[in-house]
Structure formats: C-alpha cells, structure tokens
Homo-oligomer: A and B are copies of this chain.
Amino acid sequence: MITGKNYIGSFLSNKGAITFKTFNPQLNVENEMIFYETSTAEINKAVSLATSAFKEFRNISGIRKAVFLNAIADEILDLGDELINTYCSETGLPAGRAQGERGRTVGQLRSFAQLVDEGSWVEATIDTAQPDREPIPKPDLRKMLTALGPVVVFGASNFPLAYSTAGGDTAAALAAGCPVIVKSHPMHAGTGELVASAIIKAAEKTGMPNGVFSNLNSSGISVGTQLVSHSGVKAVGFTGSIKGGRALFDLASKRKEPIPVFAEMGSVNPVIILPNALNNRAADLAKTYAGSVTLGTGQFCTNPGLILGIKSDALTEFVNTLGKEIAAIDPMCMLHPNIIGVYEVNKEKAILQKDVAVVSVYQKDVKTNFARQVITTVEGVTFLENPTLHQEVFGPYSIIVQCESKNQLEEILSNLEGQLTGTVIANDNEENDFKEVISTLQNRVGRIIFNGVPTGVEVCPSMHHGGPYPASTDSRFTAVGIHSIKRWARPFSYQNWPNDLLPAELQNDNPLEISRLVNGLKTIDIITNE
C-alpha cells in the first residue's frame, strides 16, 4: 500500500511541509496520492541511521547479505499487480515493459546475491610472512575489499525499477556492505515507495540493522543536494542527465572530504555504417534502426542519436528509407510532461541549427505527451563545426552525418565527447580497411558493437556500461553487471593480524572456500606454512 511517506529506516515518516503528486502521461492527469518531501531533520535521521547500521552491516557475512538480497527480490515479486499498475500509471509505459523491467531488477538482485554468497568478489590477496628475509623480515599481509560506507542512490526517470529504488546501484551497494539511502525519483514516487516497502520487509525478515535502507521523497533538487553534501554519505550513484550528474559531481568534489559520484549520464551512441554494408543492405539497416531509434520512445541511454556514413547513393537510400520507416511508426507516450517538454525544446534547437535538413517528422496529430519522432541529416563539415549537434536529444531523435571521406569520418569521431557505446556496421570484412577509424571510435566509448544496435544492455559480467566523460563521471567503473559492486568497496590490508581476528575471507583455513591470490598464485587452498 502506498502512503506517500518516506521510509527513514523502517519508520514511515511525513514531517516535511512540501507535498507533490505523480502524473499519468497516458491519461494526462495527476495521480491522486499525495507524497511528502523529506524534511532536513528526516534526511539527517536517515543518514544517522545508515551510519550506525554500517557498523554492523559491513561485517555481515556474504551468505547473510545474499539471503537479504534474495528476500528483496521475493518481496518485489510479492507486490504483484499493484507494482505493475502503479508503474504504468506513473510512466505511461506499457505493462509488458514494467514486467520485463521487474524481471531484470529481480535478476540483478539475485545475481548479486549469488556473487556475495560465493564470496570471491572481495579479491582476497595474501602474502605470508618471511621472518628470515634479509635485510628485514617480510610481514604477513592480507588484503580484501571492504565496504565504503553509506551510499546515496538517485532513482532514474527512465528505469523506475532496474535503475531506481532496488535497481542496479542499490543491489550492488547492499551487496558490497553499504547501507543505501535512495533519493526517490519524483516522477515515480509511488513505484518507489512500493519497492522500498519490499526492501524494508526483506531487511526486517532477514535481521538486517535498521537504517540499512531508507527511501526519501523529493520534488526538486533540495533533498539530493543535502544528501550529497552530508558528511555521513560516502558515495553516490546517479543515472540521468549530464546537467544533473555534473552538478552532483561538482558538489561532491567540493566537499571537505570529496566522495565519488558514479553518474551514468547517457550519450548519443555513434553508429558508423561502412560503405559495403550500405551498398548491400541500406533498406534493411534503415528498418532495424527505425526500431532502435524509437525503442521505448527513445528514452534509453543507449539510444542511437548519431549515425555516420560516407556519402554515396546507398547512404542516400538509407537516409530516405529511415525517414519513411520512422514516419510510419506510431508515436508513443513519453514518461512525463517535463520529459516531452525538454525533448521538444532540444529537438527544435537541433533542427534550427544552420544547414540541418529534416529528413522526416511524424506528421499526423498526436495525443498529449506523445512524441513525434524525427530524423535529420547534415554534411560532415557542418557537424564538425557545430558542437550543438553533438549533444543528446533525449527521445526518438537521430541525426545522420554524411561524411566526405574516411578521413573526415575519423576526424569527426576524434572530436566526439565520451560515449557509452559505438557501433560499426560492416560487410565483407571491410572493417579491416577502417582499422584507424574503429580505433578512434574505440577511444571515445565504453562498449563497441559489431553489426547490431546499441539499445539493449545485456546484464552479464562482460558488460561494461559506462564510458569516457560525459558518458559517465568515472570511466573505470561499470553501472551494469556484477563488477559494478567495485564502485562501493575499497581495498583494506591487515599486517601481521591475528588469524582469529581476520575476516573469514582472509583466515588461514579459508572457511568460505573462496578463490584467493596467495603468494602470487590463485588458489582455494588453505594456508599451512605458519
């Protein structure tokens, strides 16, 4: 049941004076429930509870954390149709998408449960003592990853489940041993509260300390700003706009004690279509990309917003076919009037740039909050000279750049900002003739795709979801997959520490049977030569 209140640890609380409602973009009406923005006192209480929960939680075994994470997944599933209906009413997205995203969310929780249940993720590294070493004895040193401290997670507007309350950032942080305070996204506060109630139930059922999780409502930037500035908060996860992510990064960097902000801020995800591919299958590619550009009304961070080719008749065919295909797709609802408002502004700005040609706009009337998809095209030199055209237009929009030559293509790529993904479309091994172009693309992105589309982010260990700035604030960490746990942990060394006081991961007899690096060799063996 949704109450509109905040979870300050396990306590429902609504002491704030500011209230707000969520919005149903399909019906173009406000939803009924009144939500209470968190007050400063409630924020301080949540951080204080998280700080004291951390003392216990960081030492809880991986096995118990796994039970907790699996319990969260179970409780989310137990929310049943109320969750799906609330999700749809707050996003305008269809039930199928809600169900799919719930499956992804539950899958992420279970994969982190498996990771910490097994336990080797702590990268246990042991070098045993050499008391007789000359000129000085070598001490016994043992290292493993340990939790950073309370983490703040910002809910993402475009993933109310998979990158919000119990999404990837939260699952990874809890798995690492960090209490989590969620700054709930105001557009889906009801969905957020339902998921929060599942986490709180799971925490209580599995005996986790109060304060291991809090869920804070907010209607503007004040709650998030206070959280990121709070000395008790030790790291931040964010998915959203460059403007929002950079503001948090700047705030965190200016603190007396700077803290890491892992902001995944999206990108235009350049796609290069090489000549043979265009010659062989321009029309097919246009159909495929019409689907990718409009998938989820273009509201994915991996949306292909920039398509590049070298001028040819085949490229012209691709441009024209993509235009027709796009125009034939029924427009869809965007997440919120604010989102479509920004889309309209950015789209207009892009279209009105000098020498930008509109290939296609969906022409018929559309319902309120439904987005007209647009394809534009420019010459390579125009694109090179106008950085405004490099910016993301969040929504079903893409620009096709028609380059003069391979050299111009490479020059354009070398001038792009950092991107989450890059895609290369090729036929007949022509990629071998474009090695420098591809190498240049590679240096600007976090993931490179061959003969596919950037949309669709597989959740698996080999996925890197992140990239050079501004795709993310820290290109060294992924926001998707089990390795994202590394954002929330730091290495810690014990020197000559008594065996029985060491964490189980580092004890001589390896009671968890994890894989460890012992004196330079990976092994699950126990240590006997002491």
Q: Which residues of A contact B (CB under 8 A)?
A: 55, 59, 125-127, 136, 138-139, 141-143, 148-149, 249-250, 253-254, 257-260, 417-418, 431-432, 438-439, 442-443, 446-452, 456, 458, 460-464, 466, 468-470, 473-478, 483, 486, 489-498, 501, 515, 517, 520, 522
- A141 contact set on B, CB distance < 8 A: 458, 460, 462-463
List 13 interface pairs A-B (beta carbons < 8 Å), by A numbering.
A126-B462, A127-B462, A139-B452, A139-B458, A141-B463, A249-B258, A257-B468, A447-B494, A448-B492, A461-B520, A464-B491, A464-B493, A483-B491
A435 — nearest CB in chain B belongs to which residue? B501
Q: Quick one: given A431-B501, A452-B495, A495-B450, are A470 and B253 in contact (CB under 8 Å)?
A: no
- A442 contact set on B, CB distance < 8 A: 492
With A55-B439, A149-B443, A449-B495 already in contact, 5 other A-B pairs whose C-beta atoms are closer than 8 Å:
A139-B452, A143-B464, A148-B475, A257-B470, A466-B490
B258 touches A449 (CB 8 A): no
Q: Quick one: given A125-B461, A497-B448, are A476 and B486 in contact (CB under 8 Å)?
A: yes
B253 touches A463 (CB 8 A): no
**A461–chain B nearest beta-carbon distance, Å:** 5
A449 touches B496 (CB 8 A): yes
B452 touches A257 (CB 8 A): no
Question: Can you list the 3 inter-chain pairs with the closest CB atoms, starting with the nearest?
Answer: A253-B253, A464-B493, A447-B493
A258 touches B463 (CB 8 A): no
Give the complex CA separation of A203 and B199 in angstroms.
56
Query: Among the interface residues A138, A250, A470, A501, which one has the most CB atoms of the partner chain B within 10 A?
Result: A501
Q: Quick one: given A257-B418, A447-B492, A490-B475, are A463 and B501 in contact (CB under 8 Å)?
A: no
